[in-house]
Amino acid sequence: MSSRVVLGVGAGIAAYKSCELLRLLTESGHQVRVVPTPDALRFVGEATWAALSGQPVTTDAWTGVSEVPHVRIGQAADLVLVAPATADLLARAAAGMAGDLLTATLLTARCPVLYAPAMHTEMWEHPATQANVALLRRRGAIVLEPATGRLTGRDSGPGRLPEPAGIFAVATRLLARGPVTADLAGRRVVVSAGGTREEIDPVRFIGNWSTGTQGYALASTAAARGAEVIVVAANVALPDPAGAKVTRVVSAREMRDAVLAAAAGADAVVMAAAVADYRPRHPSEHKVKKSARPAALELEPNPDILRRLATRKGRRVLIGFAAETEHVVREARRKLAEKRLDLIVGNDVTAPGAAFGGDTNVVHLIDAAGEEQALPLLSKEEVADRILDWVVAHRSTATRRPTLRRVR
**Exposure on the CB side of residue 357, measured as CA atoms within 13 A:** 6
CA-to-CA distance for 224 and 218, rounded, in angstroms? 10
The residue from 208, 302, 347, 361 that is catalytic is: 208
> Do 225 and 265 touch, CB atoms closer than 8 A?
no
CA-to-CA distance for 391 and 343, rounded, in angstroms? 9
237 burial class (0-12, 13-18, 19+ CB within 10 angstroms)? exposed
> Do 155 and 171 touch, CB atoms closer than 8 A?
no
CA-to-CA distance for 6 and 383, rounded, in angstroms? 28
In the residue annotation, 208 being an active-site residue is answered as yes
**Exposure on the CB side of residue 234, measured as CA atoms within 13 A:** 28
Distances (CA, A) of 35 to 113, 223, 225: 14, 24, 24
> Do 198 and 234 touch, CB atoms closer than 8 A?
no
Nearest to 220 by CA among 86, 356, 385: 385
The 8-class DSSP code of residue 40 comes to G
Distances (CA, A) of 15 to 43, 73, 172, 407: 7, 21, 20, 50
CA-to-CA distance for 34 and 25, rounded, in angstroms? 11
Pairing of strands 147-150, 142-143: unpaired
Q: Which residues are catalytic?
A: 208
